[in-house]
Structure 1
Amino acid sequence: MSSQFVTWNAIEDDHPGRALAKKSYGLVATGNKEEWLKLFTDDAVVMDPVGPSFFDPEGKGHHGKEGIANFWDTAIAMVKKFHFTVNDSFANGNNCANVATFTTTLEDGTTIDT
C-alpha cells in the first residue's frame, strides 16, 4: 500500500496493528486531529520518540487523550507536510512496530527526516 502520504516497502497483510498504523499516518498527514485522537483509548500512551526528547524531556510518554492531544499540538500541528516511508514492519498480537523514515516539511520549507 502506498499513497501520496505513505510509501509502504514492508510486508503487506491485514494485521490489525498495521492497518491502524496506516490509518494513523493518513490522519496525521491530512491534519485530522479529532479522528486521529479517536484511534486511542482513554488510557493510551504515545511514546514518540521513545525516551527523552524535546517533546517529552522525562521520556515518560504522553498519557491519555489529553496528553496525546497536547503532543499533537506540540509536535504535529507545526508540520506543513508529512511523508512516511515504512521499510519494515513487525506485528504480533495487538502490537505493531514499524521501521520508518518520517519526512516532515515545516512552514518555512525546511525538510527534516527522522
Structure 2
Amino acid sequence: MKTKHYLIIGSCLILLITALTNPETEKHKEEVKLKMNAFLEKKMNNENPTQKAGGMVGNALAQSMINMMVDNMVSSSNYIFFSTTNVTVEGKTKRIGFGLLGNIFLSGKIDEALKE
C-alpha cells in the first residue's frame, strides 16, 4: 500500500475514535457541578470556625441548589467529533467549555464568574 492509503486509514481511525468518545450532556453537567462544588468548599474553608458549624447545613442546601441550577441551565451541543458546554442565563447562551475524547475542558470564564 502507498503512504497515501495509510494516511487515509489513519485519519478515518482518528475520526472514528473521536466520534465514539465524544462526551454526553450528563458528563458536561457533572463537570460543571464538580467545579461549582469545589468553589463552594474552598469558600467554606476560608470562613472562621463559628460560621463553619452553621455552614454545614448551608453547604448541603447550597449543593442541592447547585445541582438543580446546573441541571436547568447547562446543556451541550454535539458536533459528532466534539461537543460544547453551554450555559443559558436570562435567555442568553454562552459557551463555557468543550468535550473531546471523553474529557471536558471548561473555560476560565467560570472561575471569573464565581469570584464575582
Same-fold status (TM-score > 0.5): no
TM-score, normalized by length of structure 1? 0.29
TM-score, normalized by length of structure 2? 0.28
